[in-house]
Amino acid sequence: MTSPFKTILEVPADWRRVLMKMSQNTPDKDDQTSSTKKTISLPISRVRLIMKSSPDVSSINQDALFLTTKATELFVQHLALSSFNNGSGKETNSLSYSDLANTAEETETFHFLTDILPKKILARDYLKTLEQMQEEEGDF
């Protein structure tokens, strides 16, 4: 399995424009820390830790770290907005786990998240389904 940090994902055009603009407007090294804190809300240290957890990554460039963090923020924002618009939270002005799980299952863009965001199921329903699957396997 290749590292997600080595593969180039197809980024929607609007995200690509934002990321390219941000990388071209990189501030001076002295001003980089204060500027980064203003434009990023995710903790960069956590993103660095996640990136370093990949055995394929030996060192991380500051620009790559900044762009990865910003891309992650944009992705989470896109997921949240899609889930809110497609979910039941419009009436109550809220976003629930089930909205996220439904979006992951029903939208092709987020389908890779179905293992991470499974729909909630009661334990008794799961055990019943598991029992039925075992019976079907036993019939063959």
3-state SS string for the chain: CCCCCCCCCCCCHHHHHHHHHHHHCCCCCCCHHHHHHHHCCCCHHHHHHHHHCCCCCCCCCHHHHHHHHHHHHHHHHHHHHHHHHHCCCCCCCCCCHHHHHHHHHHCHHHHHHCCCCCCCCCHHHHHHHHHHHHHHHHHC
- Check whether residue 80 and residue 19 sit in a common domain: yes
- Check whether residue 56 and residue 76 sit in a common domain: yes
| Domain count along the chain | 2
For residue 21, being part of any structural domain is answered with yes
* CB of 39 closer than 8 Å to CB of 31: no
**Residue 38 has what pLDDT?**
64
For residue 3, being part of any structural domain is answered with no
Q: Write down the residue that tokens 């907005």 correspond to.
A: 81
Among candidate residues 44, 64, 86, the one where a domain is terminated: 86
pLDDT digits (tens, 9 = 90+) for 92-101: 788 888 899 9
- Check whether residue 62 and residue 113 sit in a common domain: no
Its pTM stands at 0.62
* CA 52 – CA 46 distance, rounded (Å): 10
Domain with 70 in it: 11-86
For residue 4, being part of any structural domain is answered with no
- Check whether residue 75 and residue 132 sit in a common domain: no
For residue 6, being part of any structural domain is answered with no
pLDDT digits (tens, 9 = 90+) for 4-54: 444 344 445 565 566 566 556 555 554 555 555 567 888 999 999 999 999
- Check whether residue 81 and residue 27 sit in a common domain: yes
